[in-house]
Structure 1
Amino acid sequence: MLTPSEAQYVTPEQLCIGLYIHLDLGWMDHPFTFSSFKIKNQQQINTIRKLKLKRVRYDQALSDVEPMLIENSPPPPVIVEELDAEEEAILAGKKARIDQLKTIQNDIARVEQAFVRSVDAVRSITRNVYSRPAEAYADTNALINQMLKSLVENGDVLIHAMGNQLGEDLYFHSLNVTVLSLMLAKSLDFSNADMQDLGMAAMLHDIGKNDIPHKILAKTDPLTKAEQTIVEQHSEIGVAVAKKMGLSNAALLAILQHHEYVDGSGYPRHLTGDKMSPISRVLSIVNTYDNLCNPGHGLAGLTPAEALSRMFAKRRAQFDDEMLKSFIKGLGVYPPGSIVRLSNDFVGLVLCVNATNPMKPDVLIYDADTPKNEAVILHLADEADIKITKSLRVAELSPEAHAYLNPRKHVTYSLDSKEKPRPR
Structure 2
Amino acid sequence: MTATANRLLLKIDALRLGMFVQLDLGWMNHPFPRSRFKLDDPAQIATLRQLGVLEVLVRPDLSDPVAFADSAHDAGHVAAAEPAPSGDTAAAIPTPAAATAAADSSPLRRRMLEPCSQREPLRAGDPTLAMRRAQLGRERDSLARSERLHAQASRAWLGITRDAVNNPTGAHHAALLLADGLVDELLGDDDTTIRVLSEAAGTAASQHALNVTVLSLLLGRSLGLDEATMQTLALGALLHDIGKLLLPDHLRNADASNGALLLRERREHVAQGARLGLAMGLQAAALQVISQHHEQHDGSGLPLGLAGNAIAMPARVVALVDTYDRLCNPMAGQPLRTPHEAQALLFAHMRKQLDPAVLAAFIKLLGVYPPGSVVQLNDERLALVVAVHPQRPLKPSVVVHDPRVPRDEALIVHLQQEPGLGIRRSLHPQHLPRAVVDYLSPRERVSYYFAHGLEPAVTATHGQAA
Give the TM-score band, short-chain normalised.
Answer: 0.7 to 0.9
User: How far 1:320 sits from its partner (Å)?
Assistant: 1.2
Amino acid at match of 2:169: A
Partner Cα distance (2:156, 2:256) in 1: 32
Match of 2:180 in 1: 145
Corresponding position: 1:33 with 2:113: yes
Relative to structure 1, the CA distance from residue 308 to residue 33 in structure 2 (aligned partners, 3 Å threshold; closer, same or farther) is same
Other-structure match for 2:167:
132
TM-score where L is the length of structure 2? 0.70
Q: Does the alignment pair 1:241 with 2:265?
A: no
**What secondary structure is seen at the aligned counterpart in 1 of 2:257?**
coil
The residue number in structure 2 matching 1:14 is none
User: Cα distance 1:419–1:166, how it changes in 2: closer, same or farther (>3 A)?
Assistant: closer
Counterpart in 2 of 1:368? 403
- TM-score, normalisation: structure 1: 0.77
Q: Is the 8 A contact 2:376 2:382 kept in 1?
A: yes
Residue 348 of structure 1 aligns with an amino acid whose one-letter code is A
Residues 161, 242 of structure 2: 8 Å contact kept: yes
- Show the 5 A alignment for 1:215-234: 215-220=250-255, 222-223=257-258, 225=260, 228-234=263-269
Can you give the 5+ residue segments of structure 2 that lack an aligned partner in the other structure? 1-107, 460-466
1:396 aligns with 2:431: yes
Partner residue, 2:422: 387
- 1:265 maps to which residue? 300
Alpha-carbon distance between aligned partners in 2 of 1:419 and 1:168, rounded to the nearest angstrom: 25
SS in 1 for 2:200: helix
Task: Give the aligned residue type for 1:201.
Answer: G
Aligned to 1:182: 217
Give the 3 Å change call, closer, same or farther, for CA 150–140 of structure 1 in structure 2: same
Give the counterpart of 2:318 among 278, 283, 304: 283
In structure 2, do the counterparts of structure 1 residues 354 and 226 end up closer, same or farther at CA, with 3 Å as the change threshold?
Answer: closer
Separation (CA, whole Å) in 2 of partners of 1:393 and 1:228: 30
Question: Whole-Å Cα distance in 1 between the matches of residues 269 and 275 of structure 2?
Answer: 10
Instruction: Write out aligned runs for 1:15-414 (5 A).
Output: 31-34=111-114, 36-37=116-117, 95-220=130-255, 222-223=257-258, 225=260, 228-297=263-332, 300-414=335-449
In the alignment, the residues of structure 2 paired with residue 354 and residue 227 of structure 1 have an alpha-carbon distance, to the nearest angstrom, of 35
Could you say what secondary structure the match of 1:341 adopts?
A: strand
SS of the residue 1:389 aligns to: strand
Shift of 1:261: 0.7
How far did 1:153 drift?
Answer: 1.9
One-letter amino acid of the counterpart of residue 33, structure 1: L
How many Å separate the matches in 2 of 1:417 and 1:245? 33
List runs of 5+ in structure 1 lacking aligned partners.
1-27, 39-43, 54-87
**CA 1:423–1:351: 2 relative to 1, 3 Å:** farther
Percent of aligned pairs with the same amino acid: 35
Please state how far the C-alpha of 1:37 moved relative to its aligned partner.
3.8
Determine the C-alpha separation between the residues in 2 that align with 1:363 and 1:388: 10
CA distance in structure 1 between the partners assigned to 2:413 and 2:453 by the alignment? 19
Distance 2:228 2:348 in 1: 33
Evaluate the alpha carbon distance shift between residue 312 and residue 227 of structure 1 in structure 2; reply closer, same or farther with a 3 A threshold. closer
- In 2, distance between residues paired with 1:393 and 1:164? 18
Change in CA separation of 1:124 and 1:342 when aligned onto 2, cut-off 3 Å = same
> Does the CA contact (< 8 Å) of 2:212 and 2:238 recur in 1?
yes
Residues 179 and 413 in structure 1, CA contact (< 8 A), matched pair in contact too? yes
In structure 1, what is the Cα distance between the partners aligned to 2:365 and 2:158? 28
Question: How many correspondences in the alignment?
Answer: 350
CA deviation after TM superposition for structure 1 residue 358, in Å: 1.3
CA distance in 1, matches of 2:454, 2:183: 15
Q: Is the 8 A contact 2:401 2:436 kept in 1?
A: yes
1:195 positional shift? 0.8
| Change in 2 beyond 3 A, CA 1:274/1:344 | same
- Report the CA distance between 1:247 and its aligned residue: 1.1
User: Once the two structures are superposed, what CA deviation does each residue of 1:322-346 show, in whole Å capped at 9, x if it has no partner?
Assistant: 1111111111111111111111111
**Is the contact made by 1:155 and 1:417 (CA closer than 8 Å) also made in structure 2?**
no
Q: State which drifts further: 220-229 or 176-185.
A: 220-229
Please tell me the residue identity of whatever aligns with 1:296: M
C-alpha distance in 1 between matches for 2:454 and 2:372: 22
Change (3 A) 1:52 1:374: closer
Cα distance 1:299–1:265, how it changes in 2: closer, same or farther (>3 A)? closer
Change in CA separation of 1:32 and 1:163 when aligned onto 2, cut-off 3 Å: closer
> Would the aligned equivalents of 2:135 and 2:456 in 1 still touch at CA under 8 Å?
no
Name the Cα RMSD after superposition.
2.6
Return the offset for 1:313: 1.4
Q: SS of the residue aligned with 1:164? A: coil
Instruction: Give the conservation status (yes or no) of the 8 Å contact 1:294–1:300.
Output: no
Matched residue SS, 1:166? coil
